[in-house]
A and B are shown apart, each in its own frame.
Chain A
């Protein structure tokens, strides 16, 4: 039985804001196995980015445990955490903002090496930087240039090179392709997959583009307002979604095929995503759920395994699987 490399248990991250408490992440648990890509999807405000940052302790958690190779990293003292940081890296969403505009590409990629004082020899450090740049499809002539001279896709590749500098085991990809053009997205995703195979990396891939997440992930989790609604193997989630939210989400995504689009039936959700501030104790999706009944307004559903490897947080999950659930709206 393979042990997970990452085990998240009941992670919560709350923020104090002027209106009350913003529960960005409100109790999510999952495992990530070595070499796999776990996708995390959801719409704005669902907490997926916050989750990603809390998992690598960029934000201090409000509650919860995160086990990395057996150790709870939230309990580690500062210097031990520094060591662990070498194994955890992050790739950020905005390739225009995640690179310091005043540093050259070489300086940017070398920064993790400098922080952890990996190389004493300047020449060796330089060679490592070039090696990293070549790994992502750039080369030496790009090293002395500044971020603003590159396109979004190239900048993102610099960000990836930087994330690889310390030979990490686990990388959180926080919407790494959302800000890129379509053809470049494919480039970056292919690069990430290639690197994963070559270097044995494990990814948490956070995105809102469900088509892309389905493609790159082995398993996918769907978040809504700080809760995990559904988690399953990629194919299983997309072929047999159980949670009403997942179903609606999947049916909203336009497919680039005019014939198919014309004949598709869409599940239209009414209204907008409600606010994560001071949420009531209930199923977070209750306001927009076409299947909502009494108990959905009263208690938060448990996130449990319904079929093998497929977990859902829904009071009526069994009924939905059995096909006996009737919509109430």
Chain B
């Protein structure tokens, strides 16, 4: 012991009980979602994706009003003009301004993509949740049904539905399009949710709730679903680009929206004709934007997955 340091006698009196705080928690509280957000922010690529998405959404709302042209205004004196200072993205074969039409198309692409993903989410969570909580036999039947549905190519479904709900003119109505895509698209989400439910059903806190007298529904609602929101969110974020691309493909094949409504896919289809005659910009521009949206969502989804992974916490 240091002999040279003098301590006063009262220092050696007992400390009071209140002075000692045996159960003190020193660390600041970390809540779940704020922590996920913090981790996501560290991922530059994911943040780039997020910014692109936000910009896309904003532009799809206001972009059509920026340069004063109307999306369906045709001007035969201005056909097939390459991008210049007046028509920033050029014009198409009917003289319509492509800048305005691009944002108009983006609007539809995004709406359809988001709606389809939302329906997939709702049906998927419901179906997967029920299958996961149900008895083994019921679950087996439900899964076989889902697999059969999933094996039907959505292209076929679209064609069938568009014939059933046929309207005048080429193309399909938005309602039918979304219906067709979601009719089979919900299955991956259901499988994911079911898997999560099966796993979390065995968790100790679910068991604890059961011992307290909770019903299966209670456990599903209060314990299981909140703990699956992470992977579900990732899946939704990755479903959106799939839906957007699916719609773009359909539109590109002529099965998409009917004019004058058009999505980016329709634009690409329209622009195809311009390719051999040197008006490549007509297809290039919508293609770039489709790719950009998909890239952004994919990158955000990946980032979310990493941010949610408890093992990667730094």
Hey, which bits of chain A sit against chain B, CB under 8 A? 56, 58, 82, 85-86, 88-90, 92-94, 97-103, 111-112, 115-116, 137-138, 142, 144-146, 148-150, 154, 159, 162, 166
**Other-chain residue from A101, A115, A150, A159 in contact with B214 (beta carbon distance below 8 A):** A115
Number of interface residues of B (CB under 8 A): 23
What are the residues of chain B within 8 A of A149 when measuring CB–CB?
25, 27, 29-30
Q: Shortest beta-carbon distance, A151 to chain B, in Å?
A: 9
Residue pair B205, A97 in contact (C-beta under 8 Å): yes
What are the residues of chain B within 8 A of A97 when measuring CB–CB?
203-205
B52 in the interface, Cβ–Cβ < 8 Å? no
Q: Shortest beta-carbon distance, A166 to chain B, in Å?
A: 8
Q: Mark B268-306, 1 if CB is under 8 A from A, else 0.
A: 000000000000000000000000000000000000000
B76 in the interface, Cβ–Cβ < 8 Å? no
Q: Shortest beta-carbon distance, A51 to chain B, in Å?
A: 15
Assembly CA distance A115 to B30 (angstroms): 28
Residue pair B29, A115 in contact (C-beta under 8 Å): no
> Which 5 A/B pairs are nearest by Cβ-Cβ distance?
A97-B204, A85-B213, A98-B204, A100-B205, A112-B212
Residue pair A94, B214 in contact (C-beta under 8 Å): no
What are the residues of chain B within 8 A of A101 when measuring CB–CB?
32, 227
**Other-chain residue from A58, A86, A88, A154 in contact with B23 (beta carbon distance below 8 A):** A154
B14 in the interface, Cβ–Cβ < 8 Å? no
Q: Mark B205-221, 1 if CB is under 8 A from A, else 0.
A: 10111111110001000
Binding site secondary structure of chain A = loop
B260 in the interface, Cβ–Cβ < 8 Å? no
Assembly CA distance A90 to B30 (angstroms): 29
Assembly CA distance A26 to B116 (angstroms): 53
Residue pair B29, A90 in contact (C-beta under 8 Å): no
Q: Shortest beta-carbon distance, B76 to chain A, in Å?
A: 61
Assembly CA distance A112 to B213 (angstroms): 8
Closest to A144 in B: B29
Residue pair B203, A89 in contact (C-beta under 8 Å): no
Residue pair B29, A145 in contact (C-beta under 8 Å): yes
Q: Shortest beta-carbon distance, B215 to chain A, in Å?
A: 8
Residue pair A115, B213 in contact (C-beta under 8 Å): yes
Closest to B227 in A: A102
Residue pair A150, B25 in contact (C-beta under 8 Å): yes
What are the residues of chain B within 8 A of A150 when measuring CB–CB?
25
B31 in the interface, Cβ–Cβ < 8 Å? yes
B169 in the interface, Cβ–Cβ < 8 Å? no
**Other-chain residue from A93, A116, A137, A145 in contact with B213 (beta carbon distance below 8 A):** A116
Q: Shortest beta-carbon distance, B226 to chain A, in Å?
A: 5
What are the residues of chain A within 8 A of B207 when measuring CB–CB?
58, 92, 98
Residue pair B211, A56 in contact (C-beta under 8 Å): yes
Residue pair B204, A146 in contact (C-beta under 8 Å): no
* 6 extra interface residue pairs, beta carbon distance < 8 Å, beyond A92-B208, A146-B31: A90-B208, A92-B207, A97-B205, A98-B208, A145-B25, A146-B29
B261 in the interface, Cβ–Cβ < 8 Å? no
Residue pair B29, A111 in contact (C-beta under 8 Å): no
B242 in the interface, Cβ–Cβ < 8 Å? no
Q: Mark B69-83, 1 if CB is under 8 A from A, else 0.
A: 000000000000000
Given contacts A97-B203, A101-B227, A154-B23, contact A82 B213 (CB under 8 A): yes
24 contacts between A and B (CB under 8 A): A56-B211, A58-B211, A82-B213, A90-B208, A97-B203, A98-B205, A98-B208, A99-B205, A100-B227, A102-B226, A111-B209, A112-B213, A115-B213, A115-B218, A142-B25, A145-B29, A146-B29, A146-B30, A146-B32, A148-B30, A149-B27, A150-B25, A162-B212, A166-B212
**Other-chain residue from B211, B214, B223 in contact with A90 (beta carbon distance below 8 A):** B211
What are the residues of chain A within 8 A of B32 when measuring CB–CB?
101-102, 146
What are the residues of chain A within 8 A of B226 when measuring CB–CB?
100, 102
What are the residues of chain A within 8 A of B208 when measuring CB–CB?
90, 92, 98-99, 159, 162
Q: Shortest beta-carbon distance, A244 to chain B, in Å?
A: 35
Considering only residues 216-251 of chain B, those with a C-beta below 8 Å from chain A are 218, 222-223, 226-227
Residue pair A92, B227 in contact (C-beta under 8 Å): no
Residue pair A115, B212 in contact (C-beta under 8 Å): yes
Assembly CA distance A159 to B209 (angstroms): 11
Assembly CA distance A34 to B267 (angstroms): 79
**Other-chain residue from B31, B204, B212 in contact with A94 (beta carbon distance below 8 A):** B204
Q: Shortest beta-carbon distance, A142 to chain B, in Å?
A: 8
Assembly CA distance A99 to B207 (angstroms): 10
What are the residues of chain A within 8 A of B223 when measuring CB–CB?
100
Assembly CA distance A56 to B210 (angstroms): 11
Q: Shortest beta-carbon distance, A92 to chain B, in Å?
A: 5
What are the residues of chain B within 8 A of A138 when measuring CB–CB?
23
What are the residues of chain A within 8 A of B218 when measuring CB–CB?
115
Assembly CA distance A154 to B22 (angstroms): 11
What are the residues of chain A within 8 A of B31 when measuring CB–CB?
146
Q: Mark B20-51, 1 if CB is under 8 A from A, else 0.
A: 00010101011110000000000000000000
Assembly CA distance A150 to B208 (angstroms): 19
| Residue among B31, B203, B213, B214 having the largest count of chain A Cβ atoms under 10 Å | B213
Assembly CA distance A4 to B49 (angstroms): 66
| Residue among B30, B209, B223 having the largest count of chain A Cβ atoms under 10 Å | B209
Closest to B209 in A: A111
Q: Shortest beta-carbon distance, A152 to chain B, in Å?
A: 13
Assembly CA distance A112 to B212 (angstroms): 6
Closest to A107 in B: B222
Assembly CA distance A102 to B23 (angstroms): 22
What are the residues of chain B within 8 A of A166 when measuring CB–CB?
212
Q: Shortest beta-carbon distance, A211 to chain B, in Å?
A: 25
Assembly CA distance A142 to B24 (angstroms): 10
What are the residues of chain B within 8 A of A86 when measuring CB–CB?
213
Closest to A85 in B: B213
